[in-house]
Structure 1
């Protein structure tokens, strides 16, 4: 394949994944924009809650990434049984991890009181954190079906579901945060309930979409229990755990910076939430390219085509560099305008 062909294939595969990744972030962005209209304290509370939630969510997402290369490799070999087996094992792993993470947060959430954060922000953060933590289950169920479809190069399936889920989330935010259609205004907690409902919708909708999709009917065995093997669990965990840990190390420094901003006060913490929320958009866009790399390289390895493994890797790295430079330019040009989308507080906007 020529460089142009590699780039075209990258775009075809990566664009739906990138937009789907943006969908994950957009849900948080819209939450923060709509929460910011309530005040700086709820926005600071969301920032503190996300210190814990984002690390655990990204760890779970990283673990789920193990499904895609193994399915892509099996697809390259036209091994239907291996594809079904990888999904079944991956689904069980992701559900178990979601429960472990939920229990860990529920047991440790009150530690936010012991890290010298603004009292009013912590009071807002804890109920919100309790609600959104439950959404780890539907997130990882969604991720299982998404990585399965992505591994078969059907990257647009999750995008369709994500678009609808984001529209639902905006409507529910409007209803629950501000109090409309007979509901009382719940502020930050309302955003948590909106996110939780939207994520359950995502998981159920994608599962139904996969079940009825014409190209995936031959894989309906994934919806039935089957035999499990220690080897397949190990293969998934050997890829997934390091990927999840990589996500943790990438975001841990940013999350600790939120704790440090809390030491400086509520307004500074709210401003940090705006800045890091925007930065996450660029990061998740490029991680979509990474997902495309997993699909393409896994497929080529399945075909023993190592020349195209190298060529596709170079083309994807080049695209990532160009995209991140473009995001940097956009953020620099819009550095005064973007924060004003979130909040009307001049002090918070100035810091952001």
Structure 2
């Protein structure tokens, strides 16, 4: 195990700010869910529906930001600052285009919200919250783009502080606008949306100012200013980003479509589903942040053609994620009967949550495995197979079983959640297979 120690230290050092920053993102959702849930259960269900509709598009858009990481990381490993500047500028252009496409699609979808088969009582709350989320899309895309520059050049602390600051603003804004404190009107779910919009705009302004004035990134900033957007650079990012986008979209799409399935079960089940998603996203952010550190380290070693270090980095990341799975699972199992009451005063919703905790714990190791090796593939800029794995794992396996377990055999929310371990296990094994095969090809080409 000694051969992994240096990689453990490097991943922990690089990944800890990523974990803290990603937990900050989850805390924003956690705070929204908790604070809306204590306002009314109907608003919690409405927030669940809107959040799961938007997370699909936002994660797909994130694929066009994440594709910048292997390119910037590889260039950083080679000391090629000109390529870094060009990638950032072209990446911002591509992500602006993605934001425009998303806003167009979601604007059309707005006029069909009443056709989704959801409880009619939700629609008065869904519509204003939906519009506010629609307006915030470009700011999310721009923050994601600039974050890749900081992360891929191993400056993970700057985005961490920006995310934490933005989330603190969001929580304060929630308290003021949801419940009507400090002389402001009580706006409920609409106030939560306005608070989130303000936080996202503020985070974009902050990260743009850091890039514009940071001494550490002076060379990259000069390269950014001296280059121009070009079609070939944008085309390369779109080619690399599309498989990542489709992979993330299908992963998220399974959960979003499951929310619609859960909506057919009832309002209490949908509210419980939102709480479960908040808990599972907290777990996932640990795995994802550490796996992002794996992608960064892999991309650096890829630029240096050090394939032994790539292999050890990926396995070190897998070991650490398995340790995280154990640590986060124990308290949730112990307190599973009372967790739901943190978010809602409804005993029925809390009971739904307690039942769904069991399948959540079952798939934690599979989630850590799939997250680590999909990011190792991304660090190698080998992403095309990932979208096929995601389609098979989530659309061919998880979604049909969610319907069978939840609706056909009347398993309710617990049945829907028992579909996830199957898809995540298949995904983890296939991502490892493709990562290992690609690494063998690279090593063979060196010979």
TM-score, L = length of structure 1: 0.96
Structure 2 CA distance, aligned partners of 1:222 and 1:190? 41
**Between 207-216 and 82-91, the greater mean CA deviation after superposition:** 207-216
Q: How does 1:242-281 map to 2 (within 5 A)?
A: 242-281=243-282
Paired position in structure 1 for 2:36? 35
Paired position in structure 2 for 1:202? 203
Contact 2:85–2:227 (8 Å) recurs in 1: no
> In the comparison of the two structures, how many residue pairs are matched?
352
Paired position in structure 2 for 1:126? 127
1:55 aligns with 2:53: no
Paired position in structure 1 for 2:90? 89
Structure 1 CA distance, aligned partners of 2:207 and 2:74? 23
Q: Deviations along 1:119-148, whole A, 9 cap, x unmatched?
A: 111321121011012212111111111110
Paired position in structure 1 for 2:341? 340
Q: C-alpha displacement at 1:225, in angstroms?
A: 7.2
Instruction: Give unpaired runs (5+ residues) of structure 1.
Output: none
Q: Deviations along 1:262-291, whole A, 9 cap, x unmatched?
A: 112212211111111111111122111221
TM-score, L = length of structure 2: 0.76
**Between 176-185 and 146-155, the greater mean CA deviation after superposition:** 176-185
1:74 aligns with 2:75: yes
Contact 1:173–1:190 (8 Å) recurs in 2: yes
Structure 1 CA distance, aligned partners of 2:278 and 2:141? 21
Q: How does 1:153-302 map to 2 (within 5 A)?
A: 153-221=154-222, 224=225, 226-302=227-303
Which secondary structure state, in structure 2, belongs to the residue aligned with residue 181 of structure 1? coil
**Between 270-279 and 120-129, the greater mean CA deviation after superposition:** 120-129
Contact 1:66–1:240 (8 Å) recurs in 2: yes
Q: C-alpha displacement at 1:224, in angstroms?
A: 3.6
Q: C-alpha displacement at 1:33, in angstroms?
A: 0.5
Which secondary structure state, in structure 2, belongs to the residue aligned with residue 300 of structure 1? helix
Structure 2 CA distance, aligned partners of 1:305 and 1:154? 22
**Between 342-351 and 3-12, the greater mean CA deviation after superposition:** 342-351
Paired position in structure 2 for 1:324? 325
Going from structure 1 to structure 2, the CA distance change for 1:227 and 1:213 (only over 3 Å counts) comes to: closer
Structure 2 CA distance, aligned partners of 1:73 and 1:297? 9
Contact 1:71–1:86 (8 Å) recurs in 2: yes
Q: C-alpha displacement at 1:65, in angstroms?
A: 0.4
Contact 2:338–2:350 (8 Å) recurs in 1: no
Structure 1 CA distance, aligned partners of 2:286 and 2:214? 26
Paired position in structure 2 for 1:14? 15
Instruction: Give unpaired runs (5+ residues) of structure 2.
Output: 354-447
Q: Deviations along 1:12-57, whole A, 9 cap, x unmatched?
A: 1111112212222211110111001111100000011012101011
Structure 2 CA distance, aligned partners of 1:123 and 1:138? 26
Structure 1 CA distance, aligned partners of 2:77 and 2:85? 14
Contact 2:19–2:286 (8 Å) recurs in 1: yes
Paired position in structure 1 for 2:141? 140
Structure 2 CA distance, aligned partners of 1:107 and 1:204? 29
Q: C-alpha displacement at 1:294, in angstroms?
A: 1.6
Q: Identify the structure with bigger relative contact order (alpha carbons < 8 Å, sequence gap 6+).
A: 1
Q: Deviations along 1:303-352, whole A, 9 cap, x unmatched?
A: 11111111111111222222223323332222123211111111111112
Structure 2 CA distance, aligned partners of 1:337 and 1:214? 48
Paired position in structure 1 for 2:386? none
Q: C-alpha displacement at 1:69, in angstroms?
A: 1.1
Contact 1:121–1:266 (8 Å) recurs in 2: no
Structure 2 CA distance, aligned partners of 1:109 and 1:217? 43
**Between 232-241 and 203-212, the greater mean CA deviation after superposition:** 232-241
Going from structure 1 to structure 2, the CA distance change for 1:175 and 1:222 (only over 3 Å counts) comes to: farther
Structure 1 CA distance, aligned partners of 2:226 and 2:31? 38
Contact 1:87–1:222 (8 Å) recurs in 2: no
Structure 1 CA distance, aligned partners of 2:209 and 2:299? 26
Q: Deviations along 1:78-123, whole A, 9 cap, x unmatched?
A: 1111010000000111111112111211111232311211011132
CA RMSD of aligned residues (A): 1.5
